[in-house]
């Protein structure tokens, strides 16, 4: 009997341990899944002191000096024309008037050392127009620096210190900004208000910010305190790697309100590399004018979603023209990189080395088409778009397009005179717009020219009416127009009035 009880007790313990083991394995599996999916919040660092001690020597203060011309002395008073005192005052101020004088102006910023050769990264606006540049290291060593190269489009510049023999130049390492997520901890180091090395901490508040500062805006937004003088300083991740270059703040007061912007390292690294190698940045150029793909445009083209960049016009003799890109094409992918929205395409193209041939995936005539193009070299001054000559047409009488809420007419001598149209215009001219109609909603005005409807050329009002009726019969809720106006060429998707 005792032996049977002992065996039963052992079996119970075995079953109990088995269940405990199963529960532990299940909890471990759930924890691993939650960690992999980011369900667990990362613990806040107990202290930033170790990281700050390591990184502070890699950050420098930048002092610039420039000559500013000015005038000093009394100014001639404003006198009415023909005043008897006019000649007297003119003679007096010609002899004793203000003289052109110059003064020395200084400004402060931040930067960071990237190699043992003395290369230092900062913002272009920190050193722009500077006559002299000095770098102050963490131990207060002051060194003269020269400009290696600068790139106004991304607001980056590279300097190099002189006479650095025997000087300790601890360098930073770049990290991958693409791996940073909203909520990740960061620290910023810089020279706010000229106070010297200052460390602040915060998190990534947002990614991909466009603040309309340039064509390649893709900023990291942080809430680490950034003030005047922090410009050009680094933002570090918790591994001590540079993942951003502090560039701008949003502030109604001029001081930090917790909204700072940093150029991501993914943008900065290729620019810095080219500045050191060439002294300038060579960017790829496609030679197209683009616009956003709205939901209405996507529906009119048969796209599943509003994505990509739509070509409004092609620059003559540019790379896109040579590769047979067409107005109305929607670029969905370029060089193997998806184009989720219009503003991403310029950066994708710019990152490609000029002269390289890449494939682009475009949406054309209701299907995906591959187009190969040799990327050109972007010049500082963009090439202007020239209008292609159009054939002379006999005037056609005005016709109402009820579904769009507008009237159109053929381009005749009378229309050219009325709307001040040049001899080489093409399409049909808008002569009237219903204030409550679909065309008015999209901003069409009398004098605008409709060049294409549903990506086909139109030469007379009947062409427009036929294409609109065709789109309506196909169940389309909108029709795509290519319009020429004072704002240039653009595509407009206009709702088809079903009434």
Give 392-407 pLDDT, tens digit per residue: 333 446 888 888 888 8
pLDDT of residue 211: 75
The Cα–Cα gap between 351 and 268 comes to 11
Question: Looking at the predicted structure, is the pLDDT value of residue 341 above 60?
Answer: yes
Scanning 294-436, the segments in alpha helix (DSSP H) are 295-301, 319-322, 345-350, 413-419
Share of the chain above pLDDT 70, in %: 78
pLDDT, residue 205, reads 94
User: Over 90: is that where the pLDDT of 56 sits?
Assistant: yes
Higher-pLDDT residue of 340 and 91 is 340
Tell me what pLDDT residue 119 has: 95
pLDDT tens digits along 20-44: 667 767 656 665 655 554 555 566 7
- Structure tokens, 449: 């020219």
Kindly give, in sequence order, each residue whose CB lies less than 8 Å from that of residue 185, ignoring residues fewer than 6 positions away: 42, 44, 45, 201, 202, 203, 237, 238
Residue 61: per-residue pLDDT: 94
Res. 66: pLDDT tops 90: no
Alpha carbon distance 480, 458 (integer Å): 12
Token pair, residue 490, equals 């653009």
Number of separate helices (H) and strands (E) present in the chain: 11, 27
d(CA 127, CA 145): 11
Rounded to the nearest 5°, which phi and psi values hold at 381? -100, 115
Maximal CA-CA distance, the chain: 137
- Work out the pLDDT band at 389, boundaries 50, 70, 90: very low
Beta bridge partners of 236: 187, 242
Q: Indicate if the pLDDT at residue 449 is higher than 60.
A: yes
Active-site pick, 63, 110, 177, 231: 231
Q: Is 138 a catalytic residue?
A: no
DSSP 288: E
The catalytic residue among 107, 110, 119, 125 is 125
Give tens-digit pLDDT for 140-169: 999 999 999 999 989 999 999 987 777 889
**Is 49 an active-site residue?**
no
Predicted confidence band at 59 (pLDDT cuts at 50, 70, 90)?
A: very high
Q: What is the CA radius of gyration of the chain?
A: 32
* Minimum mean pLDDT range among 240-244, 329-333, 357-361, 475-479: 475-479
Model confidence, pTM? 0.62
pLDDT of residue 311 exceeding 90, the answer is yes
Tell me which of 190 and 92 has the higher pLDDT. Answer: 190
Residue given tokens 């990534």 in the structure block: 204
Q: Quick one: pLDDT band at residue 203, thresholds 50, 70, 90? A: very high
How far is Cα 449 from Cα 488, in angstroms, rounded to an integer? 10
> Binning pLDDT at 50, 70 and 90, where does residue 251 land?
low
- pLDDT value of position 394: 38
**Residue 125 falls in the annotated catalytic set:** yes
How far apart (Å, rounded) are the C-alpha atoms in residues 352 and 196? 38
pLDDT of residue 388: 30
Detail the DSSP E strand segments found in 382-487: 399-401, 406-410, 428-433, 449-453, 456-457, 478-485
Mean pLDDT is lowest, of 248-262, 270-284, 420-434, for 248-262
Higher pLDDT, 87 or 343: 343
Determine the pLDDT at residue 28.
62
pLDDT averaged over every residue in the chain: 82
Joined together, the tokens standing for residue 105 give 């102006």
Per-residue model confidence as pLDDT tens digits over 73-86 = 555 555 455 555 55
Q: Is the pLDDT of residue 72 over 80?
A: no
pLDDT at residue number 145: 94
Residue 480 · residue 491 · CB < 8 Å: yes
Confidence band for 293, pLDDT divided at 50, 70 and 90: very high
d(C-alpha 378, C-alpha 345), whole Å: 14
Q: 48: which 2 tokens?
A: 């930033």
> Which residue from 378, 268, 362 is spatially nearest to 311, judged by alpha carbons?
362
Catalytic residue among 107, 110, 155, 454: 155
Q: What share of the chain is helix, strand, coil (3-state, %, to 5)?
A: 25, 35, 40
Give mean pLDDT, residues 255-283.
90
**Higher-scoring residue by pLDDT: 419, 139:** 139
Tell me how far apart the alpha carbons of residues 112 and 135 are, in angstroms, rounded to a whole number. Answer: 10
Which pLDDT score, from 0 to 100, does residue 151 have? 93
| Least reliable range by pLDDT among 65-74, 308-317, 429-438, 452-461 | 65-74
Containing 461, the helix (H) or strand (E) segment is helix 461-473
Residue 54 — pLDDT band, cuts 50, 70, 90?
very high
Looking at per-residue confidence, does 51 or 163 come out higher?
51
All domains of the chain, ordered by start, with CATH? Answer: 177-278 (2.40.10.10), 284-377 (2.30.42.10), 399-495 (2.30.42.10)
Question: How sure is the predictor about 215, in pLDDT bands with cuts at 50, 70 and 90?
Answer: confident
Q: Rounded CA gap, 154 and 457, in Å?
A: 39
The burial class, CB within 10 Å (0-12 / 13-18 / 19+), for 415 is buried
Percent of the chain at pLDDT above 90?
41
The token pair that represents 46 in the structure block: 């107990």
User: What pLDDT shows up at residue 336?
Assistant: 93
Average pLDDT over residues 280-284: 91
Whether the per-residue pLDDT at 110 is higher than 70: the answer is yes
HSE-up of residue 212 (Cα within 13 Å, Cβ side): 1
Cα separation of 27 and 30, whole Å?
5
pLDDT on residue 216:
77
pLDDT at 98 over 90: no
d(CA 57, CA 80): 63
**Greatest mean pLDDT range, 32-41, 279-288, 386-395:** 279-288
Taking residues 412-422, what's their average pLDDT? Answer: 80
């Amino acid at each position: 009997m005792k032996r049977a009880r002992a065996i039963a007790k052992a079996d119970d313990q075995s079953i109990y341990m088995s269940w405990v083991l199963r529960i532990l394995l299940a909890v471990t599996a759930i924890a691993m899944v939650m960690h992999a999916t980011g369900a667990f919040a990362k613990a806040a660092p107990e202290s930033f002191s170790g990281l700050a001690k390591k990184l502070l020597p890699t950050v420098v203060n930048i002092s610039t000096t420039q000559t500013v011309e000015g005038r000093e002395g009394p100014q001639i008073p404003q006198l009415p024309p023909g005043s008897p005192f006019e000649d007297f005052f003119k003679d007096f101020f010609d002899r004793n008037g203000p003289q052109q004088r110059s003064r020395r102006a200084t400004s402060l910023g931040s930067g960071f050392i990237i190699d043992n050769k003395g290369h230092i990264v900062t913002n272009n606006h920190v050193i722009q127009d500077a006559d002299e540049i000095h770098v102050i290291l963490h131990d207060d060593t002051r060194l003269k620096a020269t400009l290696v190269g600068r790139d106004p489009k991304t607001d980056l510049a590279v300097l190099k210190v002189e006479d650095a023999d025997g000087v300790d130049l601890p360098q930073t390492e770049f990290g991958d900004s693409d791996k940073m997520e909203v909520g990740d901890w960061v620290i910023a180091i810089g020279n706010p208000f000229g106070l010297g090395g200052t460390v602040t901490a915060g998190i990534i508040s947002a990614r991909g910010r466009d603040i309309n500062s340039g064509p390649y805006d893709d900023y990291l937004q942080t809430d680490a305190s950034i003030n005047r003088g922090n410009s050009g300083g680094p933002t570090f991740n918790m591994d001590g790697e540079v993942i951003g270059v502090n560039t701008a703040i949003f502030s109604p007061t001029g001081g930090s309100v917790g909204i700072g912007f940093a150029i991501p390292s993914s943008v900065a690294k290729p620019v810095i590399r080219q500045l050191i190698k060439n002294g300038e940045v060579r960017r790829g150029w496609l030679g197209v004018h683009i616009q956003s793909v709205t939901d209405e445009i996507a529906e009119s083209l048969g796209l599943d979603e509003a994505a990509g960049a739509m070509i409004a016009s092609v620059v003559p003799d540019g790379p896109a023209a040579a590769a047979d890109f067409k107005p109305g094409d929607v670029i969905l992918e370029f060089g193997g990189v998806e184009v989720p929205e219009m503003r991403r395409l310029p950066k994708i193209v710019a990152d490609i080395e000029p002269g390289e041939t890449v494939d682009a995936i475009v949406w054309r005539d209701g299907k995906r088409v591959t187009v190969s193009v040799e990327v050109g070299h972007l010049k500082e001054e963009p090439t202007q778009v020239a209008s292609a000559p159009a054939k002379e047409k006999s005037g056609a009488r005005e016709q109402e397009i009820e579904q769009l809420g507008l009237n159109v007419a053929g381009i005749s001598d009378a229309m050219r005179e009325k709307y001040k149209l040049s001899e080489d215009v093409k399409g049909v001219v808008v002569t009237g717009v219903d204030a409550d109609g679909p065309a008015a909603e999209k901003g069409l005005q009398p004098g605008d020219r409709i060049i294409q409807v549903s990506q086909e050329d139109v030469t007379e009002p009947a062409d427009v009416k036929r294409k609109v009726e065709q789109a309506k019969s196909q169940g389309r809720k909108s029709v795509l127009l290519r319009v020429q106006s004072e704002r240039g060429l653009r595509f407009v998707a206009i709702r088809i009035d079903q009434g």
